[in-house]
Amino acid sequence: MSAPDWITVCAVADIPALGARRVRRPDGVDIALFRAESDRIYALLDRCPHKGGPLSQGIVFGASVACPLHNWTIRLDDGHAQAPDEGCTPVFAVKLEDGQVYLRRDQLLAPIAALKTASCDAACADAA
């Protein structure tokens, strides 16, 4: 059993290498769960800060993803858009244990408005 705070989502192997899966959130907007090189796992809100594109559908490279709508590059570790584009998308904590991927229960259930302020500074939240 994992700590009560964390919820099992899937196995690392359930995510395609250099790809992503969508994780449903009760509040509506999904989480994009990424598997980057060397099985590093990242989780972002599945919404590009530019025009809301689903980042889970983008091409994953290095520690970034290219949004499928207008090719903005978003960093997987902090959700920031690559300069000169400006904006950021909320990041979710990820825990890996025995090949299983865990997300935090409170973040999974949090209403969308609370997410923005929790993990992005005010300027970014506005842009998002």
Instruction: List residues near other proteins by CB under 8 A.
Output: 7-10, 14, 16-19, 21-24, 26, 30, 33, 37, 51-54, 57-62, 64, 66, 68-69, 71, 73, 84, 103, 105, 108-109
> Shortest approach of other proteins to residue 115 CB, angstroms?
16
> Shortest approach of other proteins to residue 35 CB, angstroms?
10
Nearer to other proteins, 68 or 95 (CB): 68
The pairing of beta strand 41-45 with beta strand 91-92 = antiparallel
Nearer to other proteins, 7 or 78 (CB): 7
* Burial of 49 per CB tally in 10 Å (0-12, 13-18, 19+): buried
Nearer to other proteins, 69 or 112 (CB): 69
* Burial of 115 per CB tally in 10 Å (0-12, 13-18, 19+): buried
Nearer to other proteins, 1 or 122 (CB): 1
Closest to 60 (Cα-Cα) out of 48, 74, 46: 74
- Rounded Cα gap, residues 19 and 6, in angstroms: 23
